[in-house]
Structure 1
Amino acid sequence: MVEETERDPLDALSIWNLQEGFKTTPLVKFRGRLVGIVLVEGKPVMFQFTELEVIKSTEPYDLPTTELEVGWSSNRIDSKWGVFGMSLRPFLAEGQDLKDMIEHVIGMEFTAGHMLPRKNKETDKWESLPASAWEVFEVDGATLDGAAGGGKTPADIAEDLLNGKTLVEFNGAAVQIDAIRNDPEMLRAVSDKSFVASMVSSGKFTVDPDSGKYARVV
């Protein structure tokens, strides 16, 4: 008899096999540490953020936390979930998925102009119509254009990136970020593993002997 293993519910939340949100907050653009993902059948996915840095909002927002909903009715690329997923992909190392972003600082922006299938209220027919959706513009201070957000140095970005990853995962992700790749000294420290070694020897990080994942010492 084959013994069944308990599945992590978050395994269902993949942003890779896309075939196809909601905006319940005045926030338009912000950075925050993703601390939780709540998945309830039949409802949008709820992302929970702390350590909020508000960049743009439709009204004053002084709370240090927020909960953000993104619709997950299908896994189509041409959906709000697809827009979100495609924006996150470039920041992930090989083998990573959405749940691996928990405890990372993520930049989110509610952007307009995405052509998504919607029912035209005037014609009652399904058409590709412009819609707004949430996108990831930054992870741990790194953007796709190589800029370091929030005044972070390449070393700061690498430090944030290391948290929660194995050495292989970290190396794979680090070389994809222009801010690190364009800094010869930082890139060399990543490649020869001296950066990671220094993080452990300085007491900033520990490494789990079983999983091989590095964790920031708080």
Structure 2
Amino acid sequence: VGQSPLREFIAILESWEAETREVAADNPGDTPRKYQVITFNFKDLEVIESTEPYAFPIAVLSIGYAPPTVSRGNTRWDALASSIRKLTPDPDLDLLVGKRQTWAMQPATLRQALTEEDGTPKLDGRLKALWGDVEADCWQVKEIEGLGSTEESDAEFMDFLVDQADGKLAKDWYEALLGDRRVTQGRGDIVTAITERKLLDTLVTAGKLTQDAEGILHKA
């Protein structure tokens, strides 16, 4: 929601607020669809990256929110919440208020309406929009004062993945990871890599794992 020129910044979160909005229903006469937008108000802002000059000491960012019972997953809110969970198991926004923190636009898997190369919507046989998972940049938290940095926890998480793989067959490793809350809570990118059977290739290419003739995985 909203197009800020900011791409990465450090600032203090002064406050946040939730607002309910309405959008017209697809069919005339139907009840308008309600949705929530969470707005973040920042102060004492230091720009790290921006698509154009940004001289203001404040920033306001708004992100759409849908509760888990309604959301189809892979939303911009899910990406933000996942980044916060890397630093604290409880993504309570009140924990962020008053703290200096780093936010950045980073790639995530989002569920969006698909488009053709010329930008027109992809439609099915009934002329309804087709939806699918696409890679897109969205706001994520990189560091929070007093809670640490996601860069550090990502490195620790990589070590955890490799340790879990050592001595196992790939299928047993994947099964163990999908049964571990450390993976399934806030690590949607890893879950996707597991279900698409891409995680092993990624870690082998990165030089973190090897696989012997019997298919057993080993720390490199």
Normalising by the residue count of structure 1, what TM-score does the alignment of the two structures yield? 0.52
* Alignment: residue pair count: 124
Cα shift at 1:130: 2.3
% identity of equivalent residues = 24
Matched, 1:72 2:59: no
2:26 aligns with none
What secondary structure is seen at the aligned counterpart in 2 of 1:48?
strand
Q: Which amino acid aligns with 1:62?
A: A
| Whole-angstrom distance in 1 between the partners of 2:75 and 2:113 | 13
Q: Work out which of the residue numbers 93, 96, 102 in structure 2 matches 1:98.
A: 93
| Whole-angstrom distance in 2 between the partners of 1:139 and 1:48 | 15
Q: Which amino acid aligns with 2:79?
A: V
| Whole-angstrom distance in 1 between the partners of 2:110 and 2:82 | 14
1:122 aligns with 122
Q: Work out which of the residue numbers 49, 62, 69 in structure 1 matches 2:42.
A: 49
Please show how residues 144-155 of structure 1 align to structure 2 within 5 Å: 144-146=150-152
| Whole-angstrom distance in 1 between the partners of 2:110 and 2:100 | 28
| Whole-angstrom distance in 2 between the partners of 1:56 and 1:107 | 11
| Whole-angstrom distance in 2 between the partners of 1:63 and 1:107 | 16
Matched, 1:110 2:105: yes
| Whole-angstrom distance in 2 between the partners of 1:132 and 1:62 | 23
Cα shift at 1:122: 2.0
What secondary structure is seen at the aligned counterpart in 1 of 2:84?
helix
Report the aligned-residue RMSD. 2.1
Matched, 1:134 2:139: yes
8 Å contact 2:14–2:98 — kept in the other structure? Answer: yes
Q: Which has the higher strand share?
A: 2
| Whole-angstrom distance in 2 between the partners of 1:74 and 1:95 | 16
Runs of 4 or more above 6 Å deviation: none
Unpaired stretches in structure 1, ≥5 consecutive residues: 1-21, 148-218
